[in-house]
Structure formats: C-alpha cells, structure tokens
C-alpha cells in the first residue's frame, strides 16, 4: 500500500542557531501613523504629569516654609502725669476746734424771753414760767439770766447727740441752797429722765454740797447713776465755771471746775436723749424738776469731747 503524504512543519532550529527572521508586511516596515500619534500623545501626557508633580512639590515646599513674622509694633510710652500728694486728713479721734461749737447762749441781754444762739445754728431758747430777771451786760461780773426756782430756758430740740461724745459748759451762780434739793444747770430731756445732769448735789460734802456731771445707765428713773464729782464746799453768790465731758471712745465722763480737772469715771452705756435742751432745770419721771435758784450765763455745747487745754481756754 502506498505511504501517506508527508506534511511539512517549520524546521526546529538547532540549539545555538540564530532565529530565523520573520518577514513583515511592507506597510509595517514603513511605520503605522496611528501608532506613532499614540506614542507621541503618551509621551506628552507623561511630560505633563511630571511637570504637574514638579509644580506641586514646589508649592508644597513654599507652603511648608513659614513666612517671617511681621515686626512687633514699637510701644510708645504714654506721657507720665505726676501724682499730686493728697492733703493729709486729721485723725477722726483728733479733738475738734473750739469754733465748731454747736450752741452758745451768752444771755448778754437786758430783757425779753427769747435767747439767741450766738453760733448762728438756730438753737434759740425761750424762757418759760415766771418772768426772768436779767443781769445787765454793764455789770462788772458780766451779764446773765436770773432764775427763781420755777422758770427756765428751753431750746425745742436736743442740741447734741448724748449717745456720742459731747461737752457741756456753763458759768453758774447759786443764790440759795436747800437741803435735799438738787439744782440742775443744764440738761437734755429723755423720755423718763435727762440724758445728763450738770448739777448741784446737796447731799454731798457733809452738807455743803458739790457739783456733779451725772448720767444714768438707761432712760429709767430706777437706773444706776454714774457721777463725775467735783470737790465739795459750794458757796452761794459765787460764780463758778462748770464743764462736763462725755468721751464715747474712752467710755468715760469727766467734770472740770473753773477749768481744772476734778474727776473722771467709766461710763459705758451711752444713750441718746431726744427731747428739749433745758437751762435751769432737769427732767425726772417724765416731768420738769430740780429748778435752779440763781443765775447762769455762757452756756455752751460741743459735739465732741474737749481736751483739758480746751476746757481751760473756755473757762477764762
């Protein structure tokens, strides 16, 4: 039987032999225009990407580097205003001036029932009861109001606050002394009793009596009396200068006789009497009493505690 026809196959190159050249169509050997354009476009895209990356890197580097801070503003010093020293103020506890008197009744007149407060503060007083007598200013001993034991002079309100420091002074003359009869020269009415009594005590001194500056612990007749006492032996028809001082800071009351210190005692419970200011009487159990039989002049009130030197000045 005849052998089948042999089909030829590509020759298998021997090891080490060069590969046979592959034949390309003519069109491929001359170059395909579409492929060339695509290659050029790819290159352009790559170049654009590279350029963009470079730009971004440059911008990032610029942003990462902080700009130097602007120069700090130069502070301009404000003009210095010299501080003026404030005037020194006196201490509150310093003694007041004698020209700060709250009321003065000189009784330097010859008649009438109205007594003028010569300080100009308007604390004028009125004589009540029987008609007063007057010692004329031409008298060698000075002027004065003469009271008969049933009349007095009154200002309509309290001249000082008796709960605070104050000073009261008067020049007095007693024309008659009676056993067991107090005689009050100056006082201020409370509800039941006087806020203070600048007065004569007949029981002291073995019957000769003495001057006192008295205050009660409360506005009550049954309250405890606190007395600053002058030396005894009071004579009639003799002028004396009396001064009573309440020092609220020191919590004490004191009395001076003719400008000389006599006594000081503790007084703690100062209270305010708000009634009339009375010259020539006191206030006992809600009624007038302890009238003066004698004469009085130069009655003064100060809203502070006078010093010993100040008392001496006003007693001359």
pLDDT of residue 137: 83
Burial (Cβ within 10 Å: 0-12, 13-18, ≥19) of residue 307:
middle
Say what the pLDDT of residue 304 is: 98
Residue 239 counted as domain residue: yes
Please check whether residue 44 lies inside any domain of the structure.
Answer: no
Q: Is it the case that residue 287 has pLDDT exceeding 80?
A: yes
In a domain, 70, yes or no: no
pLDDT of res. 254: 98
What pLDDT is recorded for position 117?
A: 98
pLDDT, tens digit, 9 for 90 and up, residues 35-64: 444 445 554 556 656 555 454 454 444 444
Q: Nearest to residue 130, comparing CAs of 277, 284, 291?
A: 291
Residue 221 pLDDT > 50, yes or no?
yes
Torsional class of 298: left (φ above 0), alpha (ψ -120 to 50), beta (otherwise): left
Instruction: State how far the alpha carbon of 136 is from the alpha carbons of 54, 100, 133, 275, 316, in Å.
Output: 124, 28, 10, 30, 20
Q: Is 40 helix (H, G, I), strand (E, B) or coil?
A: helix
CA distance 169 to 121: 17
Q: Is the model's pLDDT at 144 over the cut of 70?
A: yes
Is residue 276 over pLDDT 90? yes
Residue 171: which CATH number?
2.60.120.200
pLDDT given for residue 33 in this prediction: 45
What's phi and psi for 38, nearest 5 deg? -65, -40
In a domain, 274, yes or no: yes
Segments in the chain forming alpha helices (H):
26-30, 33-64, 308-315
Q: What percent of the chain has pLDDT over 70?
A: 70
Domain that includes residue 278, residue range: 152-292+299-315
| The overall pTM is greater than 0.75 | no
The pLDDT of 262-290, averaged and rounded, is 97
Count how many domains the chain has. 1
In a domain, 79, yes or no: no
Tell me: the pLDDT tens digits for 159-214? 999 999 999 999 999 999 988 999 999 999 999 999 999 999 999 888 789 999 99
Q: Is residue 222 one of the residues assigned to a domain?
A: yes
Q: Which two tokens stand for residue 188?
A: 């201020």
Poorest-confidence range of 17-21, 137-141, 269-273, 307-311?
17-21
pLDDT for the residue numbered 41: 57
Residue 204 lies in a domain: yes
Task: Please determine, for residue 14, whether its predicted confidence score (pLDDT) is greater than 90.
Answer: no
Q: Are 142 and 297 in contact (CB under 8 A)?
A: yes
| Calpha distance 283→150 (Å, rounded) | 13
pLDDT tens digits, one per residue of 56-114: 454 444 444 444 555 554 444 444 444 343 333 333 345 589 999 999 999 999 899 99
Task: Map tokens 């305010």 to a residue.
Answer: 272
């Amino acid at each position: 039987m005849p052998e089948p026809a042999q089909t030829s196959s590509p020759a298998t190159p021997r090891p080490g032999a060069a590969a046979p050249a592959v034949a390309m169509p003519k069109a491929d050997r001359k170059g395909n225009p579409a492929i060339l354009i695509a290659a050029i476009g790819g290159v352009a895209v790559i170049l654009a990407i590279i350029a963009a990356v470079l730009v971004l890197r440059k911008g990032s580097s610029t942003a990462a580097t902080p700009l130097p801070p602007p120069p700090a503003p130069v502070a301009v010093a404000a003009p210095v205003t010299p501080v003026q020293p404030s005037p020194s103020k006196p201490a509150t506890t310093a003694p007041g001036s004698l020209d700060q008197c709250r009321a003065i009744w000189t009784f330097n007149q010859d008649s009438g029932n109205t007594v003028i407060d010569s300080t100009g503060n308007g604390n004028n007083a009125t004589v009540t009861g029987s008609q007063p007598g007057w010692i004329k200013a031409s008298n060698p001993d000075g002027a004065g109001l003469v009271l008969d034991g049933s009349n007095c002079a009154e200002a309509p309100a309290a001249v000082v606050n008796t709960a605070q420091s104050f000073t009261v002074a008067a020049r007095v003359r007693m024309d008659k002394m009676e056993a067991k009869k107090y005689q009050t020269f100056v006082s201020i009415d409370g509800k039941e009793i006087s806020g203070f009594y600048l007065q004569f005590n007949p029981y002291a001194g073995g019957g000769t009596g003495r001057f006192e500056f008295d205050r009660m612990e409360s506005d009550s007749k049954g309250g405890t009396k606190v007395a600053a006492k002058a030396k005894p032996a009071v004579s009639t028809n003799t002028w004396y200068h009396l001064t009573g001082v309440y020092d609220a800071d020191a919590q004490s009351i004191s009395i001076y006789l003719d400008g000389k210190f006599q006594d000081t005692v503790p007084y703690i419970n100062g209270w305010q009497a708000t009634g009339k200011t009375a010259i020539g009487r006191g206030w006992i159990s809600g009624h007038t009493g302890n009238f003066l039989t004698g004469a009085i002049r130069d009655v003064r009130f100060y809203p502070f505690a006078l010093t010993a030197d100040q008392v001496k000045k006003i007693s001359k």
